Amino acid sequence: MEIEKKYLIHKLPKDLKTYPHKKIQQAYLCTNPVVRIRKQEDQYFLTYKGKGFMVREEYNLPLNQESYEHLLQKADGILLSKTRYLLPLPQGLTVELDVFDAPYENLWLAEVEFSSEEEANAFVPPEWFGKDVTFSSKYHNSVLSMPNKMPT
């Protein structure tokens, strides 16, 4: 199970480049249920995500480069590209801050994963977090991959 909250970010931290980060590209073979392929640096994954918002099933399976490239040709929508920064929070939590490339170059989303629903519900976000969009499907990457669904 994946338990996470998602927030819009309106101003990036000044020292962002000093945090660990990785380049991610991902595309979607299906959006209901979500079946995604991802290239993360030199690693490749096939992911299934169940329905839901804050809590949902998630399964990750390794792929090799050849299978990723083969499946990429079958993907719907656009290839999403982003840089993910990992910023530490108190209580051992981590912010996964996604800074998207075109066509979403002004979209910045922060996700925080939790070990329980109780922990997620008790979470108080840092001041620099913007609107909580956990329960808005329009900020799911699978929806963003469909160009006609771009958020306003």
Asked if 85 is an active-site residue, the reply is: no
Contact 3, 120 (CB under 8 A): yes
Catalytic site residue from 7, 28, 104, 139 = 28
Buried b / exposed e over 10-39, threshold 16 CB at 10 Å, is: eeeeeeeeeeeeeebbbbbbebeebbbbbb
Q: From CA 143, how far away is CA 150, in angstroms rounded?
A: 8
Active site residues: 28
